[in-house]
Chains A and B, each alone.
Chain A
Amino acid sequence: MSFYLSNLVALLAIFVILGMSFNLLMGNAGLFSIAHGAFFGLGAYTTGLLMRDHGWGFVPAVLASCALCAVVSTALGAAARRVTDVYLVILTLAFQVGAIEVIRNSETTGGAGGLVGIPRPDIFGAVLVTPVQVAALAVVLCLLVAAVLRAVVRSPFGRTLAALREDELAARSLGKATPIAKIKVFAVSSALAGVAGALFAVQVRYISTADFGLDRSIEILSLTIIGGLAVWWGPFVGAAVVLLVPEALTYLALPDTLVGAIKGFAFSLLLLAFLLFRPQGIAGRRRRKAGPPAPEAAPVVPRPREAADAPPPPVEGSGGRVLRCEDVSIGFGGLKAVDGVTLTLRPGSITGLVGPNGAGKTTLFNLLSGLLEPDTGRVYYGDRDVTRSSLDSRARRGIVRSFQEMRLFDGMTVRQNLLLSLTPKRDERLLTVGVLLGGRHAAERARAARADEMLSYLGIAHQADTLAGDLSYAEQKLLMMGRLLATRADCYLLDEPMSGLDDAGRERILTLLRDTVAQGATICLVEHSLDVIRKVCSWVVFLADGKLVKEGPTDEITGDRELAAMYFGS
């Protein structure tokens, strides 16, 4: 009985590792891989072969399995980095099928017969003999993985993953290198599947490809979704369900082939039922799960009112860098959306971009911010040619943009939305102290304090822990502006930041814009209201049919009758 129980506990620990690693990928980062079963197998076979045929100890074999899975998954992730996430799914599908086929037919791996005679595990030479000891090893490793993953999810890196899941484009527009984050999270997830595989190999000591097929991938997927996506302890629940159902089946004395089919049928049915009727899983709460919790802010000494209302500190290193484009053009099909525009944005001033609908204002923003690459022409930032640099790398250099639709991270709290912008790229690395301490280190605490300061500046401090999606429209607009300002960029491209606001809301945004420009920043905004243009813009650029028709001081352009006729459509 203790033999049976130890085995069950060990398997449970292995499945929890599988579920947790998959949950990191799917629940936290919103990515999907079909090859988790194959990576599980890759780890198992690597450890099995190294220990049986090459005399390796368990610890180095685990590390080797982990490394191999990380390398292979990095290659897959890197290949799919330039295309949509669906390609990663397709690549992992083909890898799952191809890799298992090769293992099944290779002589070194024992072929279809499987790999037999895997040695018992050892810890630097001390062999674990009893099932209880092996189970203890599995449980210890499982708890270790659980602790590390908890820290990862709560670290700044985890926050970036949550942003990636919520809205990848918005994350990139704030300077998050999401393609790299995706490769990293896939590599970590797959490497941990390899660890689970290594444990599995020494636990059962006889493995075959049947253990690592598509069915296994589906099983891992099912247990993750049943337990609850992005719920840290979800895989414990899910693994228990997925392991105990078949255990119950063994009492029914069914033929082996049927057991496999019943399992497959039951898990698929459970999976589908959960997706349709309870997408948050067993452990998940009804409402959308917020991202990782923000650390407690350091106690702030009450300050005089002026201090709380101070605008963000001066922009660093703007150094009068100028964003300009030279003769940029882009066409979609037959239509020239932007046609030979040359434009210089002046630091320390607000430029208004106006023109009739379809004039190419947003497209020009897309070219300036790096969302699109022009067919011809160049974009410069200071002396640097940024024509080919991406949206996120331009954002890190100091050019940020807003979108017409706000694209907030609706499922994250207001404070987290700001923290995301306040975190520089170097603090978001996977292996920083932030990961080890779960985000509770000094820099993170300082950021939290900074976020609260900004929130009171914006006037939404009382909403700090509300989900961004639950804010009022006007508050969302403020948060959107705050999120941009928190990046401390030098150059802001704002696409209709005041649309849909009443006068009071508009005034608040206008104040933010004036404060920011007073610090020497560059602002360019697309705006339909000439009233707003007159109020804040010192320079106006008029676009029509993709061409720059005229630019000049505000009064000159807004007073131009010909342009007015063009604008209002005569």
Chain B
Amino acid sequence: MALFLQLAQNGAIIGLLYGLFAYGMSLIISTTGVLHFAHGFTLVGAAYTFWWLYQGHGIHPVLAAVVALAAAAAIGVVIELGVYRPLRRRNAGGMVFLVASLAVLTLGQNLLVLLFGTDPKPTPPSAFMSWTVHAGPLVIRTFDVLVVAASLGAFAGLYLLQTRTAVGLSFRAVGDNPERAETLGIRLQRTYVWVFVAGSVVAALPAVLLAVQNPVTPSMGFDLLVKAVIALVIGGVGSMPGALLGGVLIGLVESLAVYKLPTQWAEFTLFAVLFLFVVVRPNGLSRNALRSA
């Protein structure tokens, strides 16, 4: 039982982290209609930036994290301007965006291997991160607290952004009907840039959290991407609460699958759950905003 609870706790925490990564993809797909696979590279890019500054150059971790946030935003904007905007101008089909996005991800991932090698890059252990507290059978670590705070905080922040600010409202207007939004004076290209800034900055949070907890690897972006994409489908593509819910659900499935099954079946269990959802409830747990692409 204690093991089960511990697994459930781990699952929930890692699920919140998946959700945190999925928010940006959710925001980007609901505004631009692009399933942003390259978001995985935004995450690794931010994680390597953090590791390089913190471990490599002894920069204070908080400062390094801030730079990582900026790096993530920059990566997102470069992808929008360098890849998506030219494709949009050419009126390319939805599949072309997907393929290009995937190509950006593998390009970036391989570039990091060429620059830093495939070996995992740990960050120095710190007293701050090794704090724990026991609550009954559960052990709560700093990491757990940070993930819960970051995930729920980012969720609230993005909710406020989309309901209370002009730029956030323009995201929704453009997502709903780009032509009409444009006639209302919303500048499309600028809105797209801002949505990539907002979505990408959020990806730096799981990047930094993972970097302080586990060693950084070039493939971590792809691994997280697969989870996030499944979370999006389960939660309902384009829905922010769906991303959170879907993330937690697959975190739990992945973690609890190991309770009964051999560990190698974890990934396949996720595929099976996804398959089931697509068959039975393709719109996910909540409203679906995925336009045909």
Contacts and interface: CB of A to CB of B under 8 A. Distances in A.
Whether A and B are associated in the same complex: the answer reads yes
Interface of A: 26, 30-32, 34, 76, 79-80, 82-87, 89-91, 93-95, 97-99, 101-102, 104-106, 214-215, 218, 221, 225, 257-258, 260-262, 264-265, 267-269, 271-272, 275-276, 279
A37 to B, nearest CB: 12
Nearest to A168: B292
Contacts of B111: 265
B271 A97 contact: yes
A257 B290 contact: no
B99 A275 contact: yes
Contact of B99 (A221, A257, A267): A221
- Most chain A CB within 10 A, of B222, B266, B282, is at B282
A82 B282 contact: yes
B35 A86 contact: yes
B274 A34 contact: no
B107 A268 contact: yes
Contacts, number: 136
B150 to A, nearest CB: 26
Contacts of B291: 84
Nearest to A100: B267
Interface stretch (B42-50, B87-95, B160-168, B183-191): B87-95
A98 B267 contact: yes
Given A262-B114, A264-B106, A90 B268 contact: no
A258 B270 CA distance: 31
A105 B94 CA distance: 35
B226 interface: yes
B278 A83 contact: yes
Given A268-B104, A272-B103, 7 more contacts: A30-B95, A90-B233, A94-B275, A101-B264, A105-B262, A261-B118, A264-B106
Contacts of A267: 106
A229 to B, nearest CB: 10
A106 B92 contact: no
A94 B230 contact: yes
B229 A93 contact: yes
Given A85-B94, A97-B226, A261 B114 contact: yes
Contacts of A80: 278
A268 B233 contact: no
A104 B291 CA distance: 36
Given A30-B95, A34-B102, A257-B118, A94 B110 contact: no
B67 interface: no
A218 B103 contact: yes
A272 B270 contact: no
B100 interface: yes
Nearest to A224: B99
28 contacts: A32-B95, A80-B278, A83-B278, A84-B290, A86-B98, A86-B237, A89-B95, A89-B98, A94-B226, A94-B271, A97-B267, A98-B268, A99-B268, A99-B271, A101-B267, A102-B265, A214-B222, A215-B106, A221-B99, A257-B117, A265-B107, A265-B113, A272-B100, A272-B107, A275-B87, A275-B92, A275-B99, A276-B87
Contacts of A258: 113-114
A265 B229 contact: no
A472 B291 CA distance: 31
A98 B114 contact: no
B293 interface: yes
Contacts of B93: 30
B268 A101 contact: yes
B149 interface: no
B10 interface: no
B2 interface: no
B114 A268 contact: no
- Most chain A CB within 10 A, of B229, B265, B268, B290, is at B268
A85 B292 CA distance: 8
A275 B100 contact: yes
Contact of A104 (B83, B226, B264, B275): B264
A105 B263 CA distance: 9
B102 A218 contact: yes
B106 A279 contact: no
B279 to A, nearest CB: 5
B120 to A, nearest CB: 14
- Most chain A CB within 10 A, of B110, B291, B292, is at B110
B109 interface: yes
B208 to A, nearest CB: 25
A87 B98 contact: no
Contact of A84 (B86, B104, B222, B293): B293
Interface in B184-233: 222, 226, 229-230, 233
Contacts of B266: 101
B98 to A, nearest CB: 6
A73 to B, nearest CB: 13
B95 A26 contact: yes
Nearest to A86: B293
A103 to B, nearest CB: 9
A260 B106 CA distance: 12
B96 interface: yes
A380 to B, nearest CB: 29
In the A-B complex, the 3 residue pairs with the closest CB atoms: A105-B264, A98-B271, A268-B107
B113 A261 contact: yes
Contacts of B293: 84-86
Interface string B56-67: 000000000000
Contact of A90 (B96, B107, B229, B279): B229
Given A94-B230, A276-B83, A279-B96, A84 B292 contact: yes
Interface in B102-140: 102-104, 106-107, 109-111, 113-114, 117-118
A560 to B, nearest CB: 34
